[in-house]
Amino acid sequence: MYQKSFLLLGVFLLCGLSSKAQKWSSFVNPFIGTSNYGATYPGAVAPRPMVTVSPFNAAGEQNVIDKDSQWNSMAYWNENTFLSGFSHVNLSGVGCPDLGVILTMPTSGELTPHWQEYGSTYKNEKASAGYYSTTLEKYNIQVEATASRRVGISKYHFPAGQNNVLLNLGLGLTNEQGGMVKVVSDQEVEGMVTVGSFCYNNPQAVYPVYFVMEFSEPADEFGVWKEARPNTGVEEQWMKSYNGELRLLEQYRNHVVGDSIGVYMTYHHEQPSTVEVKVGVSYVSIENARENLKAETSDKDFADILAETQAEWDELLGVVEVKGGSEDDKQMFYTALYHTLIHPNIQSDVNGEFNLSGHQGFGQTQDYDRYTVFSLWDTYRSLHPLMSLLYPGQQSEMVKTMLDIYQESGWLPKWELNSTETYTMVGDPAVAVIADTYLRGIQDFDTKVALEAMKKHYFTTENNPVRPGNKYYHELGYIPVEAEKSDLFGGEDNGEARVWGAVSTTLEYNIADYAFGQFAGALGEQKLSEEVLAQTKGYQHFYDPETKVLRPKMKNGEFLNPFNPKDGENFTHAIGYVEGSAYHYAFMVPHDIPGLIQTMGGEESFVKQLDVVFDEGHYEPDNEPDMAYPFLYNYAQNYRWKSQQKVKAMIEEDFANTPSGLPGNDDTGTMSSLLAFSMMGLYPESAGSAEYLVTTPRFEEVIIHLDKHYYGGKNIVIRAPKSDSRPYIKSFRVNGQEQDRLFIDHKTLTEGAQIDFSLSKSSK
C-alpha cells in the first residue's frame, strides 16, 4: 500500500491476504499517473470495473487545477488539495472529460448542500490495488473505499455528533446535465444521472447511469435538495427565499428530477461511529443496479469485499513474475499491468443485460462478458497484443464484443464508450485488433462475421463513418490534403465525414489493411489477401527524399507547399497529421519497416534519420504514432544496440514510480502496456505480424505463466543476468539456439520459450 509519500507499507494482514497476494498487489502504486496529465486515479478499483470509488478533487478555485478553468479529463489531480466527494463511475487515462459522477461525501456538523461549502482538504492518503483511504481535515472523518466489479463500498468513520452522507448528482466531469433521485427508505436511495458527449464529438451520445445506494444503518433524518429555477420580475419577489438557490426538501420520498439535485442522510451519533455505504451501478436500469449490488455484496462486509478484490488482483498480476531489478522497477511494472486491467471494462450486468450499440434496446450475454471503453486508436498498438499474450480469455471476449457491436450497428467500433460511438481519432483500429488477435492464436470467435465486417470497412468508399477519405484512398493509393477538414482546402468530403490528417489517416489504414490482408490469407482468401496487402504500400506516396519524412500530397501528386516538418509538435494543428508532426509519423509504418528502409535508401539513411528524431528532440513517448521508435534500430543489424540504449533511456527518463510517472495520458492503459512490454524486453512489431522486437529486459528473470486453455499452460522464461548493470545484448538464445535477429514470433514464445540473454556493459 502507498501513502502519498510513496512509501511501501505492505498490505493489510488483517484482511486475510495470503503471502502470494502480498507479493503481487503490494507492488501496485495507484498514485502513478495522477499528475503530468496521466489521467489515472488512486481510487479503489477491481479488475475490469464498471464501478470505481475515486476521490474527486477536480473542482474548486482552491485547487491548482480547476475543471472549469481549463480542458480537464481528470477526476483527481495529485497537485490539488480540495476534495468535494468520491465519484463512482470514472475513466482512467483518457484525454477527454466524461463520467466522474455519482459523488458521495461524508460531513459532520451543520448540513449544507453546496459543494463549495462542504468540500474539504484532506491528508493521510493511502492506496493499493482495490483500496483507498484518506482523512477529511475539515471534519476529521476517515474515509475508506474498496470495490467489486459493479459495486463501490465506502466506510465513513465519523466523530460523535451530527454526521451526514451527501449524494451530489449535479457535480462531475461529464459535459451533460440532468438526473433523477428518490429516497426509497431511511437506508436506501435510487436514481439516475445523465452522462455522455465524450470529446464533444457526438452531441447525440447521451445516456443514463442508474444506481442504488444502501446504508449500513438507518438515517435519523433524510431528504433531498434541488436548485430552483432563477426567476425575474414579479416571480422573483414571490420566490425571494429560494429563487435560484438550492433548497432542502426534508423527509421527501418522491422522485426529484433536475440538474443540480442531491440527497442527504443525517445521523446523530452519541459516540464515534462507522457508516458503510454501498453503491451499485447499471447502465440498463435501477432494478439491475439493485441486482448487481445484491449479487456482489449481499451478506459481505467491507473486509470481505476488499479481500476478494485484492485476491483477484493478485491472481491477474501473478501471471507475470519478475526477479531482480529495483523496488521502483517492480512497482512501475506491476502498476503498469494494473493500469492495463482497468479498460476495456465490463458493461454487462450480473444477469448479462447491457445496452445495445446506439442505445437502441437491450441485449443479454450468455457465455461471456460484454465489454466497453474501446479507445482503439491507442490500444491496438500495444495493449491488445499484451492482453493476447497474458490474458487471452479476456481478449477473446473483447473481440466478441466488437463483433457484436458490428452486428448491432453495422460497423465495428472506433472509439466506443458505453454503447455510444464517439468517432474519436482516426484509422480503422478494430480491424487491426481482431485480425491480430486471430493471428496470435486466439480464434474462438466468429471469423465469418469478422471477415464480413472487414470487407465492409475496406470496400465501402462512400458514406463510411469509420473510414473517411476511403474513396481517395482506393483511387489514388493515398488520401490527399484536399480531403482534410481544413478550410484551406474547402474540406471536400465526397458525401462522407471530412478527413483529419491525410497522412496520418492513410498510414492508419495501411496498418489496418495489413492486418486484414494477413487475416484473409490465414482464412484461405488468397486473392482478397493479395489485393488488400497491395494497398498497404500507400505510405510510399508520401516519402519526400528532400526532407526524408512522409509529406502531405495534393490530388495532383505534388507535395504540399509550404511545408515545415516541425509543424504539429506539442499537439498543435498541422495539415496532414493527427496530434503530431511529420517527425512523429516519419517511421509509423510498423507493418513494413524493411520496405521503408528501402524507400529511404538503405539502413544507413534509415538510421541517420531515426537519429534525427531522437537527437533533435522530436521523439515523444506519450504520442502513440512514435511510441515504438526506440525499438526500430533492431531492423539495422549494426545499430541494434541503439534500441537497447533508447529503450533503457525511455524507461528511466519518461516513466517513474511517482505521480508524474507517466509521460502523458495513459490512454486507457496504452502507455502502461508500452512500459510493461519494454520492461519484459519485448514489443509487438505490428498488428498482423505476430512478431515481437526484442531488447534488454529490465529484470534478471521474467516468468510468464501462460493460459492453460489457449497456450497449454506452459511458462515463458526470460533470463537476463546482471541486466541492471549490463544493458547491451551480446547474444540472444531461444530454447538454446542462438538467434541472428532480435525478434521472436508469438507461436514460438507461447509454446513455452526459454529465452537467455548474455549481456555486456559495452555496446561494442
Question: Is the C-alpha dihedral spanning 49, 51, 53, 55 positive or negative?
Answer: positive
Assess whether the region 2-217+266-315 and the region 319-760 belong to the same CATH fold: no
CB 101 within 8 A of CB 174: yes
CB 289 within 8 A of CB 88: no
| Closest by Cα among 144, 443, 407, 502 to 301 | 144
Residue 413 preceded by cis peptide, ω within 30? no
User: Which cell numbers in the block locate residue 707?
Assistant: 493460459
Question: Is the C-alpha dihedral spanning 308, 313, 314, 315 positive or negative?
Answer: positive
CB 557 within 8 A of CB 563: no
CATH fold group of domain 2-217+266-315: Beta-galactosidase; Chain A, domain 5 (2.70.98)
- At 80, the amino acid letter reads N
Instruction: Tally Cβ neighbours within 10 Å of residue 264.
Output: 24
| Closest by Cα among 394, 405, 510, 395 to 449 | 405
CB 408 within 8 A of CB 419: no
Q: What letter would DSSP give residue 591? A: G
Q: How far apart are CA 418 and CA 414, in angstroms?
A: 13
Confidence at residue 202, expressed as pLDDT on a 0 to 100 scale? 74
Q: What letter would DSSP give residue 435? A: H
CB 35 within 8 A of CB 88: no
Q: Could you write out the DSSP letters of every residue in 7-37?
A: -B----GGGT--HHHHHHHTT--TTTTSSTT
Q: How far apart are CA 287 and CA 257, in angstroms?
A: 18
- At 534, the amino acid letter reads A
| Closest by Cα among 581, 591, 487, 499 to 539 | 591
The domains of the chain are located at 2-217+266-315, 319-760
Confidence at residue 12, expressed as pLDDT on a 0 to 100 scale? 37
Confidence at residue 614, expressed as pLDDT on a 0 to 100 scale? 98
User: Which cell numbers in the block locate residue 418?
Assistant: 458505453
- Greatest Cα pair distance in the chain: 90
CB 165 within 8 A of CB 269: no
- At 53, the amino acid letter reads V
State whether residue 569 is helix, strand or coil.
Answer: helix
Q: Which tens digit of pLDDT belongs to each residue from 321-375?
A: 999 999 999 999 999 999 999 999 999 999 999 999 999 999 999 899 999 999 9
Per the listing, cell 484461405 goes with: 524
Listed in sequence order, the DSSP H helices in 546-683 are 582-585, 593-599, 603-615, 640-654, 670-680
State whether residue 596 is helix, strand or coil.
Answer: helix
User: Which cell numbers in the block locate residue 501?
Assistant: 490528417
- At 680, the amino acid letter reads M
Q: How far apart are CA 695 and CA 502, in angstroms?
A: 33
Q: How far apart are CA 144 and CA 131, in angstroms?
A: 7
Listed in sequence order, the DSSP H helices in 262-381 are 286-297, 302-317, 327-340, 376-379
Q: How far apart are CA 540 and CA 598, in angstroms?
A: 10
Q: How far apart are CA 347 and CA 288, in angstroms?
A: 12
Query: How many angstroms from the chain centroid is the CA of residue 81?
Result: 25
Question: Do the strands 754-760 and 715-719 form a parallel or antiparallel pair, or are they unpaired?
Answer: parallel
Measured CA distances, 149 to 145, 215, 743 (Å): 13, 19, 38
Q: How far apart are CA 654 and CA 493, in angstroms?
A: 39
Confidence at residue 17, expressed as pLDDT on a 0 to 100 scale? 38
Can you state the angle between helices 392-409 and 429-439, rounded to 10 degrees? 140
Q: How far apart are CA 132 and CA 136, in angstroms?
A: 13
- At 462, the amino acid letter reads E
CB 429 within 8 A of CB 511: no
User: Which cell numbers in the block locate residue 453?
Assistant: 465486417
State whether residue 223 is helix, strand or coil.
Answer: strand
Question: Is the C-alpha dihedral spanning 352, 355, 360, 361 positive or negative?
Answer: positive
What parts of the chain have a pLDDT lower than 50? 5-22, 494-495
Instruction: Tally Cβ neighbours within 10 Å of residue 362.
Output: 15
Q: What letter would DSSP give residue 482? A: G
Classify residue 61 as exposed, middle or buried by CB count within 10 Å of its CB (0-12, 13-18, 19+).
exposed
Classify residue 495 as exposed, middle or buried by CB count within 10 Å of its CB (0-12, 13-18, 19+).
exposed
The arrangement of secondary structure in 319-760, i.e. its CATH architecture, is 2-Layer Sandwich (3.30)
